Amino acid sequence: MVDGNAGSVAPSRAPLVRPALLLAAYGSSIFLSAALLFSVEPLFAKLVLPILGGTSSVWSVALVFFQVALLAGYVYAHLLTRHLSALLAVAVHLCLLCAATLALPIGIARGFAAPPAAGTEYWLIGLFSVSLGLPFVALAANAPLLQAWFSRTAHADAKDPYFLYAASNAGSFLALLSYPLLIEPLARSSQQVHAWSFGFYLLIGLVAVCGVLLLQSPLEERARAAEKLAPAPEAREALGYCLRAALPSAMLVAVTAHISTDVAAGPLLWVLPLALYLSSFVLAFQSERLLSHAACLRAQPYLLAFAVLLLVFSGLQNLALGVGVHLAAFFVTGLVCHGELARRRPPVEQLTAFYLWVAFGGALGGVFAGLVAPHVFSWPVEYPILLVLALLCRPGLYWPGRARVRAQVVAGVLAVLVVALLVWRFGVASDRVFRALITLPLVFVVVEWRREPLKLALAFASVLLLHYTDLGANGHVRTLRSFFGVHKIYETRLGNVPVRALMHGTTLHGVQRLDASALDSEGKPAPSSYYGPNSPLARSIRAVQLNQGRPVRVAVVGLGTGTLACFTRPGDALDFYEIDGVVAEIARDSRNFEFLARCKPESRITIGDARLTIQSAPDAFYDLIVIDAFSSDAIPIHLLTLEAMGLYLEKLAPQGLIALHVTSQHLDLPPVVARVAASQGLITRVQYSPVPADRTQFASDAAVLARSDSDFGALLDLGSWPKEAPSPDQPLWTDDYSNILGPILRKLRAGARPR
């Protein structure tokens, strides 16, 4: 025991254990703990997705929970290390791990079957906390706690155990990469849950071995005494740790939301940024770095400049380029920030305090990007802001000391503001010319000011400010933000036709003409965008009307601007199922779009996820069910599964049709639909519409399903509808299994389908 007066320690009671055994026990425990920690993140988030309509915001909020729970684990580890003897610390931690097994196997906790109408983010955090909180906190504590225990042993590397942090993140990195590439494609969710539980029980045994080895160490009490006497980090150092950890954490949430909004909300695109985030820790804390800190500092401004250019030229639709540039900029920024953390890390006596501040910064960054920003900003301004702040985390930041330099900086800022006001007031003649004028100087700026973070950040901020000011000057009407995404209503021109458009992410979800021919002879708005008169979905509605020869009942999953209402006839019943209340507000307001008000004002709009709300409809009720619920270009996977198709069939009347909008830039969806349909005994026919001559209409793809060929009826007279045979290479998507990697690869191999 420690002598409070002399600081002496009691003599050792046990012989020194073998160094190889120490390293193997601690290394394997930390590795397995990290693998469990970061494999449960995509697994549990995927289990939650169907409750919340498959939105990518689920992962943004999940990241916030994981960061806060990580902080809780680090606080627990710090308190355990500083205030309890080794014997008590080992006993308490093993008790916590055993208590966490009461939550196994993991699953959705009771009372969380459906989200509330408001406060979805906080409800989701509650769901994560109740269902997964205790096991996650127990796992999160292992990395700093086991490193602190290792530092008290007589191992030769005990004086600098930070290499085990790299091992921890390496386990996390491998677990994350294996999830979308191996675990998700090869195992069902239920199998993954039981395998994870087995790994957790195995970990308890390994941690017990580490505890026994700690208690046998002759240096344990002396090391603990040194830790207790070690001073806490100074306020300035602690603030530096916190800020350098906060920025990559916030960027993780922002960049994940940015890239996953336009493909699919699922583990494949979730784990890529998180894996890069962890690998930046691995590389930064290696004793011999593969990527030098100096090289990362040189590359970062150029990659951030490319990311800014992609935001300015947002019309670029190349998936590989867009995802690649944003991820590269994020990864190198993580290397810069985490490299600075590694370079400034304190002595081993302050190890748990260091990790505590790093975790606190990570939690702050996650809370800002995942919870605060969506409520404060009406559009995702946090990502451009973080791109600018990333430059301020570089070494060498200072406020110019000379009055002349300060005056230059102030003059530059004022000039940008003046130009922004002029643009806002008068607009510009050419979008492309304007974008060139504000982006071409970036090349010169990066080359000349790459060693001056403040000037570089001001230059990047000026470019982004002018760009978004220009958007406001060129027809932007309003922006609304909800848990399910950002909706922009703006006026522009398609060809020579003035239109008002609704954009979700980077995808148009409805367009209304504003010219003299905007209304037809009956006073109805002219359908446009993906819903022109000859679009596959319009033909599906017309075919059902002809087949039935009576007023029909139509269900549409996904409201958008409500364009499909204009294809119904008097007497037809139209029910919309929409998960986002903000979209319903937009569509109902005739000042935004007139499709509902002029074509079908009595349409019923039910708010909530369609898998839950459509269950209340009578069986065999609808003559046509339309699935058109894409968020930006992301697909709601849970609406395309075997169980979802079974639900649609229950609600489908005899001789009825199911139509699915399968237009996607990044995924080949018809084989997925055909495989699920065949499992329910349905026939699939697909139409790929050509690009219309009318610039206000877009090409679109649709798959229509029927119980028999005769049920298609008049549809086969409305254009070409070839059968889509189920492919044996396409796995059957169920609520327990789905994998978007195959559809992405097929789309990349096939390229654009012939129109």
DSSP string across 29-50: HHHHHHHHHHHHHHHHHHHHGG
Fill in the DSSP letter of residue 579. S
Report helix angle 741-750 to 670-679, nearest 10.
130
Q: Do domains 19-392 and 525-750 have the same CATH topology?
A: no
Paired residues of 513 in beta bridges: 499
3-state class (DSSP) for residue 583? helix
Given this model, what pLDDT does residue 182 score? 81
CB-CB neighbours of 162 under 10 Å: 18
Q: Which residue has the tokens 């699939």?
A: 684
Determine how β-strand 485-494 pairs with β-strand 476-482.
antiparallel
Please give the CATH topology (third level) of the domain spanning 525-750.
Rossmann fold (3.40.50)
Please give the CATH topology (third level) of the domain spanning 19-392.
Growth Hormone; Chain: A; (1.20.1250)
Q: Residue 21's closest CA among 152, 168, 155?
A: 155
**For residue 378, which amino acid is it?**
S
Alpha carbon 627 to chain centroid, angstroms: 23
Q: How far apart are CA 168 and CA 172, in angstroms?
A: 6
Domain edges within the chain: 19-392, 403-474, 525-750
Tokens at residue 522, please? 């009956």
Given this model, what pLDDT does residue 435 score? 54
**Which portions of the chain are predicted below pLDDT 50?**
1-16, 226, 229, 263-265, 316, 399, 421-422, 424-430, 473, 632, 752-755
Given this model, what pLDDT does residue 434 score? 53
Torsions phi, psi for 734 (to 5 deg)? -130, 175
Q: How many residues does the chain have?
A: 755
Angle in degrees, CA 20, 25, 26, rounded to 5: 105
Sign of CA dihedral 32, 35, 40, 43: negative
Q: Do 190 and 736 touch, CB atoms closer than 8 A?
A: yes
Q: Residue 193's closest CA among 140, 131, 111, 110?
A: 131
Given this model, what pLDDT does residue 409 score? 58
Encode pLDDT of 623-642 as tens digits: 999 998 865 455 677 888 99
Given this model, what pLDDT does residue 97 score? 93
Tokens at residue 129, please? 């906390």
Whether the bond between 42 and the residue before it is cis, its omega within 30 degrees of 0, is no
Burial of residue 195, with CB atoms counted within 10 A of its CB: 0-12 exposed, 13-18 middle, 19 or more buried? middle
Given this model, what pLDDT does residue 450 score? 64
First to last CA, the chain: 80
**DSSP codes, 64-132:** HHHHHHHHHHHHHHHHHHHHS-HHHHHHHHHHHHHHHGGGPSP-PPTT-SS--SS-HHHHHHHHHHHHH
Given this model, what pLDDT does residue 8 score? 35
Q: Which residue has the tokens 């990570």?
A: 362
Given this model, what pLDDT does residue 71 score? 86
Given this model, what pLDDT does residue 680 score? 93
**For residue 505, which amino acid is it?**
G
Q: Residue 702's closest CA among 669, 733, 730?
A: 669
